[in-house]
Amino acid sequence: MTRVALISQSANLAYFGPLLQAAAPELDVVVWPDPAFREAEVAMCWNAPPGVYAEMPKLQLVHSIAAGVDNVVAGQDLRGLPVCRVVDPKLAEGMVQYVLWSVLYFHRSLDVAFANQRKAVWKRPVQTPALQCRVGVMGLGKLGGAIVRQLVALGYTVNGWSRSAHAIDGMAMFTGPEAFDAFLAETDVLICVLPLTDATRGILGRRTFDQLPRGAAIVNCGRGEHLVADDLLGALDSGQLRGAVLDVFAPEPLPADDPLWRAPGVVVTPHMATMASSTVVAEQVAHNVRRLVAGEPLANVVDMGRGY
């Protein structure tokens, strides 16, 4: 019988037990820190305690419960183990909705209207066509690609940036580090849906902000560690940036005394942009465990050389 250990130092993953067993009744499911986790062949994780896999000699597969794997591999000795993530086609739908709201918030000057409301000021903002709003999307994977297609359909000017080139109708492509500054120079609203890797950590920092046109806005839906918060506060203060919609933070939950909660121009949301259905997560993990047992190729394996 294959044992799956549900492991998280910040969330109680016990609710996955019945879902996993509904999808694959033959599995034996335990919840860390029950000492039985040490005998598990599969670790199903979110925010795994550093070093935990070293205590699991039989471990054959690390499976994230999410699209990102940064917090299941950080601080771990993976010793060549395969790492898989969840790819739920419905995940993109929620992300598209969240990003669309954020783009409209800036493009239709709702940030200005809401600030005026607090002062009882009646001032109608100038309405501009979507084409005049240049949206730059960092990361063109499962989520970024869906965002781009919707924004193009709504008439925005859309620029995309990623490591390798992607052809999406209506999008201007900027490829790799050498095209980054040119991409930023053409961006009024910058969207981050990158995975967190050594190459992307801190990418939303002063250098990036300085390359954007004055008065640009940012939307971070990647990971909190993409953002250098002090640099953002400085850029808002100086007027280089007009505002920021932030969904992800380091750490989460964002501490109550963090200045981001109250910084003018910043919208804080609690990592809610999108979430995979628990049933879909359990089914994908169960299917991968069955593939592992049968010696078949795993689905949604992360390339640990790239880090995503």
Q: Among residues 3, 5, 23, 68, which is the contact residue for ligand NDP, using CB under 6 A?
A: 68
Strands (E), the chain: 3-7, 28-31, 42-45, 61-64, 83-84, 134-138, 157-162, 171-175, 189-192, 216-220, 241-246, 266-268
Q: Among residues 248, 263, 286, 292, which is the contact residue for ligand NDP, using CB under 6 A?
A: 248
Confirm whether 85 is a catalytic residue: no
CA separation for the pair 246, 102 (Å, rounded): 10
CA separation for the pair 85, 83 (Å, rounded): 7
Q: Among residues 29, 62, 151, 194, which is the contact residue for ligand NDP, using CB under 6 A?
A: 194
Q: Does 23 bind ligand NDP (CB under 6 A)?
A: no
Q: Does 200 bind ligand NDP (CB under 6 A)?
A: yes
* DSSP symbol at 90: T
CB of 134 closer than 8 Å to CB of 157: yes
Which one of the spans 50-58, 120-128, 138-146, 233-241 is the region binding ligand NDP (CB under 6 A)? 138-146
Q: Does 64 bind ligand NDP (CB under 6 A)?
A: no
CB of 160 to ligand NDP, least distance (A): 8
Residue nearest to ligand NDP (CB): 141
Q: Among residues 45, 48, 84, 140, which is the contact residue for ligand NDP, using CB under 6 A?
A: 140
Confirm whether 223 is a catalytic residue: yes
| 24 closest CA partner among 284, 302, 295, 245 | 284
* DSSP symbol at 273: S
| Tokens found for residue 43 | 């670790």
Q: Does 224 bind ligand NDP (CB under 6 A)?
A: no
Active-site residue list: 223, 271
Binding site for ligand NDP (CB under 6 A): 67-68, 91, 139-144, 162-164, 193-197, 199-200, 221-223, 247-248, 271, 273-274, 308
